[in-house]
Amino acid sequence: MGPKSASKLPPAIAMAAVIRSIPRGQVSTYGAVAEAAGYPRSARHVAKVLNTVRGLPWQRVLGAGGRISLPGEYGLEQRFLLESEGVRFRGRKVDMALSEFRFAKPKKARKNSARRAPSR
């Protein structure tokens, strides 16, 4: 195997993919998106991606706690779009307890999928 043949996708690409995975009616945060993409502590870069990549459900990405971070009319637009999808607000923030999307864990491919807990 090459030294690093298995490099991960560039941050911008990985983040865009993560953002696209947020379902309609649900939301996430800059920090959570960055972490899910494999780049924790790079929340600020997520904002850049949202401003660069077109066609993303940008309105579903919020600041910590469900706060709309986009200022001005765009912020109002964001709130309007989210409410149109059925996202509920509590004051100025989105009710994250109800609408935050949980990304699947990045678990490293497991050859043996016998890992289920006997439930209960």
Separation of alpha carbons 4 and 63, rounded Å: 34
Residue 73 or 111: which CB sits closer to DNA? 73
- Rounded Cα–Cα distance for residues 120 and 117 (Å): 8
Checking DSSP bridges between strand 28-29 and strand 93-94, what pairing results, if any? Answer: unpaired
User: Considering only residues 18, 27, 29, 96, which one is a binding residue for DNA as defined by CB under 7 A?
Assistant: 29
Residue from 16, 22, 26, 39 binding DNA (CB under 7 A): 39
DSSP H helices, 40-92, are: 43-52, 72-84
The only residue of 36, 61, 87, 94 in contact with DNA, by rule CB under 7 A:
61
Q: Smaller CB distance to DNA: residue 74 or 86?
A: 74
| 24 makes contact with DNA (CB under 7 A) | no
Q: Does 20 bind DNA (CB under 7 A)?
A: no
Tokens of 42: 């790079």
Q: Are 46 and 33 in contact (CB under 8 A)?
A: yes
Residues 71-110 that bind DNA (CB under 7 A): 71, 74, 78, 91
Q: DSSP state, 113?
A: -
Binding site for DNA (CB under 7 A): 10-12, 29-31, 39, 41-48, 50-52, 58-59, 61, 63-64, 67, 69-71, 74, 78, 91
